[in-house]
Structure 1
Amino acid sequence: MRWAMDQIPYEEIDRERIAKDRFLFKNLVIASFIEITSDVYDRNLSEFFQGDDAVVEWLNNTWEPEELQHGRSLRRYIETVWPDFDWESSYERFRERYLPLCKIELLQETRAREMLARMVVETGTSTLYQAMSRYAHDLNEPVLEELATKISRDEVYHFEAFEEAFVRYKKEEKLSRSEIVKILYARLKEINNEDVNIAYEAIGEDENYEAFIQEVQGFAKKYYPYKMAIKMFMRPLGINQHAENIIASTLQPAFRILGI
């Protein structure tokens, strides 16, 4: 792993500065629940890619440990700033509702398509933590800024590893660009998906989920790295870098206005 939890100076967190920030609290808890459940995802993916020793070894020895570290690091941050929050009980509520949805049958039909789906997920997580790092910077909270930056960099590395396998499988399956576009579009529609909703409800907040999503959209307009997200999202299409930059620069203002 590229970093360890004991490198994060949790003792330097200024609790008084951020303890009243419920939006930050909710986002960190949701992220911690999903990240720390990566052992379930890993089992499914390892079974799905059985026979590809390089992929399975990387999933078990790199991807899963790093994802679990993300979840544990976020949990420690949450319990440092909000010690009265019962993380364990809330997480159990999340697992109870979420685990029945984590079935290998719900993965994509082929290995190339599943690697493409993984790339979309890593695009979402790497850019989310980048946005969180920017938010922490504005809060003048350097510990969270450092933690979010480290997690974002890990997720970019995961994206690149999944991309490497995707390129290999794409050739084997002869996926066309039009097929890739269809898969990307289908995944894009699932961005505000069920895991976030279940995690939010497990926290036990009074505010309804729709109101929370509106908060997220306002947050995104200011902090989300749209250009980074668009470029990563287009990578599977194999567009040359110059065209990729032009498209990303063109779409970035529109996505920021829409807050998506």
Structure 2
Amino acid sequence: LKHNLKPVDFSNINFDTLDLVRRFYPNLPNHKLEFLSNHFQFETKSNHNSLDDVFATWELLHKLLEDKIIPTAKKRSELINKQKNKFIHVAQIFQKLHNILNDNLLLENLIAQIVEEFNLVNIYKANATQDGAVRLENIRNLFRLAKAELNSHRGTNGIKELLQYASLSNTDLDALTSSHPKIPIITIHQAKGLEFDYEFLAGMNDDIFPSYFSTRNGSITEEEKRLFYVAITRAKKALFLSSSGRPSRLLNYIPEQFITKIK
């Protein structure tokens, strides 16, 4: 491609085409390579053949460069130069936190340092609404969790353990909820094999559950139906289902006599 951009060494830089396409074409109904290669009429269509996918990705990157990246480079550079001074302080904080990670700081001390560096306590205290109080209590709970459950973990390993803890396996979750009075917020896949007295299943909207991709052929896939069955059979006493938009068509599989509607 011919352009007036200065040469840049990209040897140590990774580009995510999915992220780029979502950024530059936010209104497309689908951002998968298979859809894009047909939508933009690439010479090579993505068909899950590894070599064809490579060529389709190459065409996609060229289209992004020609249509979106190169034409807007000057404007983006001007915006960056105009606004970058506002982010210097934040960048310095992140650099300091990065150095602390390398020092293998205990996880609870790392959380405390993050809170202090970003002045979160004072910011949330200044927020007189309930939201400020809730956020402050969430920070306290996170600190207590790190100290009580992950108190021997340090640095990047501590963060990895915290993320793993947040996505507990069924066995770990079962052990945790049996010994601690907590309300687990989990995915349907994580709930397989578990039971709860009361269950709240949120997001029962069409295009969320069932997902858009599972219904694009006009009917719900069998896998989505099986997943719904798993979801609603976790409750032993009461099941609460909620939607914030068009109710899920999966709800039609539940007989009316078992439903009590709450507005």
TM-score interval, smaller chain: under 0.3
TM-score, normalised with respect to structure 2: 0.23
- Greater length-normalized contact order (CA 8 Å, ≥ 6 residues apart): 1
Larger radius of gyration: 2
- Structure with higher helix content: 1
TM-score by length of 1: 0.23
